[in-house]
Structure 1
């Protein structure tokens, strides 16, 4: 028996052009649209997911941190950070959330798994100094240094002790995904490649007896966007993003699958109801 629990770590607001890019616009055009867009979507959850499996507990992503509110935490020289608004109370960070569930964040997890290294997925890393931390090698390579700081990552804010276990999805294929990285010996939890939002982005497939869970990170911002094939404004490769959405839909056509993006306001309800994608 496998259990998946959603954990909300505050709210994020973004421009409408970030959530969905205009058809026909390339990578640069989509960025220009974000800066020009005067419209903001309603606050969206910042979700991470706890998987309870016979081999242990796995946390997928770590959400964001209250330190976004501290002057100087976000680099003022990068105008990207003025296009999003993060609101996290100290008690909303993933560490306190896990503690409220009766878990010791630093001791009671088999691993912390990152779908990618954007700041709203790595902001809670400070809570896990004693844990195995796994992330996609290809995404890590574009998330460090100045390149990372230019593209939504805050490597200068990562814990000084962070030495993630970097992996590649060169394991067995799963449905339409040509490779995977099994996270459990039984293969029921696995990373699969879902590039597009950023290079090297991965998602996590959880295969229970009666249903699969597709923990999508930012491969899509919502199930509705997935269904409609709407690609976000962040991507540097809209064609790859669209191919990823097709692959996710193809996987969900193979067996009942609950789609769980990191910022979908309806995701928690679908998870509770085990509502499969159709």
Structure 2
């Protein structure tokens, strides 16, 4: 039996132009639109997901940290942090505390952490899992540690010194419309698939249970509504690449009963509780 649980680690408020960029705008134009935008979303959840599988407990991403509120934690030289985003996480909202509420010790009871990508609101809780295996897309790891990656929302200087992830690349085994994948479990029920666009090397996680699939999108789409409307965020490095990834997600969901689980979707936890599948 497989169980998936949504875990919220605080909220993030972003510009409307980041949540959904205007059609026809290039990646650079979308960044300019974000800087000029004066409208904000309501606070969005920062979600990570616990997968309980016969081979162990797996986390998808780690959410963010309360340390965002500490002066100097976010680099002041980066206008993205000073003007474009507002993260609020209380200490008891970090993923370690959330798991403790479920009777799970994040330091000892998690088999592996699967990172969709290394942006700060997905990697901020890494320190809660010192003894877990970390699985990270190789391309995203390389980008996240670069100067360009630091400009784009990664904080490698805040990662624990012990972090030595297993760097992966998709293999030549298809899953639905995805031509390549990376199997996490030996039974193939948990797999990672490439969904670039929001970030280079971004991968999503598919959990295939008997009756339904859980598609944990990371930031391949911010919410199911955007996925359905084929709206691409303002962070994307290439809107066409993002659209191709979204098209593959929709195609998978059209051929398998699938619950869509993004990281910043108001309704993801409710859909999961109700086992509401994506309707084509």
Range of TM-score over shorter length: over 0.9
Which residues in structure 2 correspond to 1:107-126 (within 5 Å)? 107-126=108-127
8 A contact 1:171–1:182 mirrored in 2: no
If the length of structure 2 is used for normalisation, what is the TM-score?
0.98
Alignment of 1:164-183 (within 5 A): 164-183=165-184
Give the CA deviation at 1:147. Answer: 1.8
Q: Give, in whole Å, the separation in 1 of the partners of 2:211 and 2:114.
A: 24
Rounded to whole Å, the distance in 2 between the matches of 1:145 and 1:236 is 15
Contact 1:258-1:276 within 8 A present in 2 as well: yes
Match of 1:198 in 2: 199
SS in 2 for 1:148: helix
| 1:64-114 C-alpha deviation (Å, 9 max, x unpaired) | 000000000000000011200000000000001111111110111110110
Whether the 8 Å CA contact 1:11–1:46 is kept in 2: the answer is yes
* 2:20 maps to 1:38: no
Q: Which residue of 1 aligns with 2:130?
A: 129
Deviation at 1:145, TM superposition (A): 3.1
Cα distance in 2, alignment partners of residues 61 and 53 from structure 1: 16
In structure 2, the residue matched to 1:106 is 107
Report the CA distance shift for 1:101/1:171 in structure 2 as closer, same or farther (over 3 A).
farther
The separation in 2 between residues aligned to 1:233 and 1:92, in whole angstroms, is 27
Rounded to whole Å, the distance in 2 between the matches of 1:29 and 1:148 is 19
- Structure 2, unmatched stretches of 5+, are none
Contact 1:213/1:258 (<8 A) preserved: yes
Please give the secondary structure, in 2, of the residue aligned with 1:13. Answer: strand
Aligned partners of 1:69 and 1:219: how far apart in 2? Answer: 27
- For residues 137 and 172 of structure 2, the distance between their equivalents in structure 1, rounded to whole angstroms, comes to 13
Contact 2:110–2:129 (CA under 8 A) maintained in structure 1: no
Aligned partners of 2:14 and 2:86 also within 8 Å: yes
Partner of 1:142, secondary structure, is helix
**TM-score under structure 1 normalisation?**
0.99
Please give the alpha-carbon distance, in whole angstroms, between the structure 2 residues aligned to 1:73 and 1:40.
23
- Give, in whole Å, the separation in 2 of the partners of 1:248 and 1:146: 30
SS of the residue corresponding to residue 32 of structure 2 reads helix
Gaps of 5+ in 1: none
Aligned length: 278
Contact 1:2 / 1:51 at 8 angstroms: preserved in 2? yes
Q: CA deviation at 1:170?
A: 1.3
Equivalent residues in 2 for 1:247-258 (5 A)? 247-258=248-259
- Measured on the aligned residues, the alpha-carbon RMSD in Å equals 0.6
Using the alignment, how far apart are the partners of 2:276 and 2:48 within structure 1?
A: 18
Q: Corresponding residue for 2:11?
A: 11
